[in-house]
Amino acid sequence: MKSGSNLERLLEKGEFVVTGELGPPKGPDADVVKKKAHMLKDNVDAVNITDNQTAIVRMSSIAACKILIDEGLEPNMQMVARDRNRIAMMSDIFGASALGIKNMLCLSGDHQTFGNHPEAKNVFDIDSIQMIYMVKTMRDENKVISGDEIEGHLKMFIGAACNPFADPFRYRVYRLAKKVQAGADFIQTQCIYDMKRFKEFMKQVVDMGLHEKCKILAGVTPLKSVGMARYMALNVSGIVIPEEMIDRLRGAGKGKAASEGIKILCEQMQELQEIEGVAGIHLMAIEWEDRVHEIMDTAGFLPRPKV
Amino acid sequence: MIVGERKPFSEILSMVEDYSKILVIGCGSCVTVCMAGGEEEVKILASQLRLAFRKNKRDVKVEEAMALRQCDDEYLNDPLLLDKVKAADIVISMACGVGVQHATSFFNRRIPDKPIRVVPGLNTTFMGANLDVGIWEERCVGCGDCVLEKTGGICPVTRCAKSLLNGPCGGSSNGKCEINKEIDCAWHLIIERLEALGELDRLKPIEPYKDWRPSHNGGPRKTVREDIRI
């Protein structure tokens, strides 16, 4: 076992996993994290804790992860290369492990121009692929980047992100291969709406045998309204929403788009389960944690398996 | 070349308005080529200053001068220029930040009995290329460890908003960077170039952690060429 996390053990057992996501508050209130945690508890197998997503200042991922552990959930700590150099990263990874964090997701991070401090200086000392390699070296060779020995042993299940819808499309599978080569144990993808393109991508993944070296979790996010769908398609890089999906939301009628969005999502989740090489789902119900139980129940993913 | 942009007039005026003898010195190299701090721009700034002081009924003398390169003793060591510097209360250097600092150092070395005050007339923006008439774009951050042989002659350290070394992030869309649709995704360009060269395999190995020591990471960098020192 690389970390012995619940996520790792379920994936090893061949269970179809579902991870959730929780955005920490824009302040120090632990109760906000606890409240969201209770909505997710027993509904998902692990919960991603974002690291100042969209470059907006929030409670630190590590701290929110610890709150989750205390509440009896398993966190997946996100870490971005934007705000920390290699020294801070390695130090925080030691600290995270000491607090009981066993999964992490290595990311480049949204550029600071998107956030509430666009005048900040970014770091990007190392990139996400180098971060994956760094954590693997720390875990498997017991060394920090410099080659110095680590006191004790680091246990960490290493995750990475993948956006099958970014450009250049033909290169995306090679970038994924590079993350696997660097040492990613699992991958969580960007939100998928264009199932046709995702299937095309997964065929490339399977042809290259990447799904056998690394567990691929397909990312999904429910669409709450026509407005949200339009906004995401226009403003979030690498999000492609097929027109017929937006038509379905519109066709649902006044006040019914949200439930139609959940219906679409559940169908998607069932369809993703059938795709070769997909080992699970990463459900990003952004500020919709209270609907996660309903989504998981409707899609037929409850109760969650135990190991 | 080094590209600069003239500071707003109000900012320059606020630096010099308490003085009565002002010298504006242009630089005849990079900033002349990018039309920010050459002879023409010196004339324009000096005229603007004279007009502003006349409007405020202030008796201020504004002199003009040029140096071919303010970043080199050889071109500052001109008796006429030094006389003008001695006579001034304040010097506005229209060179890049290198020129402003070197002129400060040189004038104070050569005129030890009078502290010389030099202020910047430009913002030094970047090292870049002239893409079209009136358009310049950054091409090098001077990281001190060039990787262009691996990336098809396109610098990811400079041109990727995240300085990524192992390929495009998830924000690359239709060849453009997620932070601004006006900016080309450097990695998109690199991939296209390497494909055309039949060298896409160059991107397969993981590019190791960058050693930032040769970059701006520990005080000013210095080059000493023993072979050409006298």
The answer to whether the CB atoms of B178 and A178 lie below 8 A apart is no
The answer to whether the CB atoms of A167 and B168 lie below 8 A apart is yes
pLDDT at A238 over 80: no
Name which of B170, B208, B210 is nearest A237 (Cβ-Cβ): B170
Mean pLDDT for A254-262 is 92
Interface test with A, best of B143, B154, B157, B169 (most A CBs within 10 A): B169
pLDDT band at residue A296 under the 50/70/90 scheme: very high
Mean pLDDT for A271-297 is 96
Percent helix, strand and coil across chain B, each to the nearest 5: 35, 20, 45
- Which tens digit of pLDDT belongs to each residue from B57-76? 999 999 999 999 999 999 99
The answer to whether the CB atoms of A167 and B185 lie below 8 A apart is yes
Count the neighbouring beta carbons within 10 Å of the beta carbon of residue A142. Answer: 14
Quote the pLDDT of residue A87. Answer: 98
The answer to whether the CB atoms of A167 and B161 lie below 8 A apart is no
Query: pLDDT by residue for chain B (230 residues), tens digit each?
Result: 999 999 999 999 999 999 999 999 999 999 999 999 999 999 999 999 999 999 999 999 999 999 999 999 999 999 999 999 999 999 999 999 999 999 999 999 999 999 999 999 999 999 999 999 999 999 999 999 999 999 999 999 999 999 999 999 999 999 999 999 999 999 999 999 999 999 999 999 999 999 999 998 888 999 999 999 98
pLDDT band at residue A63 under the 50/70/90 scheme: very high
- Which tens digit of pLDDT belongs to each residue from A126-141? 999 999 999 999 999 9
Q: What is the pTM of this model?
A: 0.95
Quote the pLDDT of residue A253. Answer: 87
Quote the pLDDT of residue B117. Answer: 98
Share of chain A above pLDDT 90, in %: 94
- Which tens digit of pLDDT belongs to each residue from A7-40? 999 999 999 999 999 999 999 999 999 999 999 9
Contacts with A168 from chain B: Cβ below 8 Å:
168, 172, 175, 188, 191-192
Mean pLDDT for A258-274 is 96
The C-alpha atoms of residue A158 and residue A185 are separated, in whole angstroms, by 5
Report which of A162, A123, A158 is spatially closest to residue A137, judged by C-alpha positions.
Answer: A158
- Which tens digit of pLDDT belongs to each residue from A66-93? 999 999 999 999 999 999 999 999 999 9
Residue A16's identity, in one-letter code, is: F
Angle at CA A108, nearest 5°, toward A103 and A113?
Answer: 130
- Which tens digit of pLDDT belongs to each residue from A97-128? 999 999 999 999 999 999 999 999 999 999 99
Domain boundaries, chain A: 6-223+277-298
Q: Would you list the DSSP string of A252-303?
A: T-TT-HHHHHHHHHHHHHHHHHTSTTEEEEEE--TT-GGGHHHHHHHTT--S
Q: Would you list the DSSP string of A154-198?
A: ---EEEEEE-TTSSSHHHHHHHHHHHHHHT-SEEEEEE---HHHH
The answer to whether the CB atoms of B169 and A166 lie below 8 A apart is yes
Pair of tokens at residue B75: 């071109």
Report the half-sphere exposure of A140 (CA within 13 A, side-chain side): 14
pLDDT at A254 over 90: no
Q: Given CB atoms, is B156 within the 8 Å cutoff of chain A? A: no
Q: Is the peptide bond before B168 cis (omega within 30 degrees of 0)?
A: no
Q: In chain B, what are the domains?
A: 2-126 (3.40.50.2300), 141-203 (no CATH)
pLDDT at A239 over 90: no
pLDDT at A217 over 90: yes
Quote the pLDDT of residue A34. Answer: 98
Q: Do A101 and A69 touch, CB atoms closer than 8 A?
A: yes
Q: Given CB atoms, is A35 within the 8 Å cutoff of chain B? A: no
pLDDT at A237 over 80: no
> Nearest CA of chain A to the CA of B209: how many Å?
6
CATH assignment, A6-223+277-298: 3.20.20.220
Quote the pLDDT of residue A8. Answer: 98
pLDDT at A142 over 80: yes
